[in-house]
Structure 1
Amino acid sequence: MSAADEILDIVDENDQVVGRLPRGQVYAEGVRHRCVFIRARDAEGRLFVHRRTPTKLVFPSLYDMFVGGVVGAGETYDDAALREAEEELGVHGLPRPEFVLKFLYDDGAGRSWWSAVYEVRCELPVNPQVEEVAWHDFLSEEEVERRLSDWEWVPDGLAAYQRLKAHGARGEGPG
């Protein structure tokens, strides 16, 4: 099954499931769905940063400071966070990512999704999926801040990053 054929839950403005559609149709029609963003840190506290491959359906070749992706139909945010973190980092046996906050991302141009943001410590050697990650490294927060104006970042990841900075404390559960 291709990524475009994956079935996703369709949700309303209150994050209530109202239907299911294939991912390709969801993206083509700008239908609201669910995503997870996981900020991964290594043993030294540095952030995992990567550049997406040019074949990604959304935001190809842009930089991201989160791993993550869509929540599958019937999947919980928590389960999707662990699955996506392990898949994109190329590891098994990660601790369960800790939920931090949830927000509705909407770019005003037909891209809208509920976004649950998590954090996880990855002390395992990473081996990211070559289909997902073109380049990666662990960078200090200071280095990430320096790169914000130099690199082209995924806009939803920037929105999550800004919300994390403003949030500071732990949030409510993802529901």
Structure 2
Amino acid sequence: MSAADEILDIVDENDQVIGQSRRGEAYERGLRHRCVFIQARDARGRVFVHRRTPTKLVFPSFYDMFVGGVVGAGESYDDAALREAEEELGVSGLPRPTPFFRFLYDDGAGRTWWSAVYEVLCDLPVDPQVEEVAWHDFLTDEEVEARLEDWTWVPDGLAAHERLRDYRAMD
């Protein structure tokens, strides 16, 4: 099954399931669905950063400071976070990601999804999926901040990053 054929729950503005759709159709029609964003940190506290492959359905070749993706139909945010983190990092046996918060991402141009933000410690050697990740490295928070203006970042990941930075500043 291709990524476009994956079945997603379609949700309303309150994150309540109102139907299901193929992923490709959800993207084409701008149907609101669910996504997870997981900030993976290594044992030194550095953030896993990657450039998406040019074949991705959304934001091809953009940089991202999160791993993650869509939540499948009937799947919980927590289960999707662990699945996506292990898939994209190419590891197994990660601890369950720690949930922080959810927000409704809306780019104003028909792309909207409920977004759950997590963090996970990955002290395993990563082997990212070549279909998903064209380049990767672990960067310090300062290195990430220094590249925010220079690299083209996925807009939803940038929104999650800004909210996570504000969330941590309140702690």
Q: Distance in 2 between matches of 1:12 and 1:22?
A: 16
Q: Is the 8 A contact 1:100 1:170 kept in 2?
A: no
SS at match of 2:158: helix
> Aligned in 2, Cα 1:6/1:170: closer, same or farther, shift over 3 Å?
farther
Per the normalisation by structure 1, the TM-score is 0.96
Q: Is the 8 A contact 1:101 1:170 kept in 2?
A: no
Q: Distance in 1 between matches of 2:80 and 2:141?
A: 25
Following superposition of structure 1 onto structure 2, how do residues 76-87 of structure 1 map, counting pairs within 5 Å? 76-87=76-87
Letter of the aligned partner of 1:54 in structure 2? P
Alignment partner of 1:101 is 2:95: no
Match of 2:2 in 1: 2
Q: Distance in 2 between matches of 1:99 and 1:41?
A: 14
Letter of the aligned partner of 2:109 in structure 1? A
SS at match of 2:125: coil
Letter of the aligned partner of 1:127 in structure 2? D
Q: Distance in 1 between matches of 2:82 and 2:93?
A: 9
Q: Distance in 1 between matches of 2:168 and 2:38?
A: 16
Deviation track 1:119-164 (CA, whole Å, cap 9, x = no partner) reads 0000000000000000000000000000000000000000000001
Match of 1:90 in 2: 90
Following superposition of structure 1 onto structure 2, how do residues 1-175 of structure 1 map, counting pairs within 5 Å? 1-168=1-168
Give the length in aligned residue pairs: 171
Unaligned runs of 5+ in 1: none
Superposed CA RMSD? 1.2
SS at match of 2:157: helix
Q: Distance in 2 between matches of 1:156 and 1:110?
A: 13
Q: Distance in 1 between matches of 2:135 and 2:169?
A: 31
Give identity over the alignment, percent. 78
Q: Is the 8 A contact 1:32 1:113 kept in 2?
A: yes
1:167 CA displacement = 1.2
1:169 CA displacement = 7.1
Q: Distance in 2 between matches of 1:118 and 1:170?
A: 16
Unaligned runs of 5+ in 2: none
SS at match of 1:115: strand
Q: Is the 8 A contact 1:47 1:138 kept in 2?
A: yes
Per the normalisation by structure 2, the TM-score is 0.98
SS at match of 1:168: helix
Q: Distance in 2 between matches of 1:6 and 1:83?
A: 15
Letter of the aligned partner of 1:106 in structure 2? D
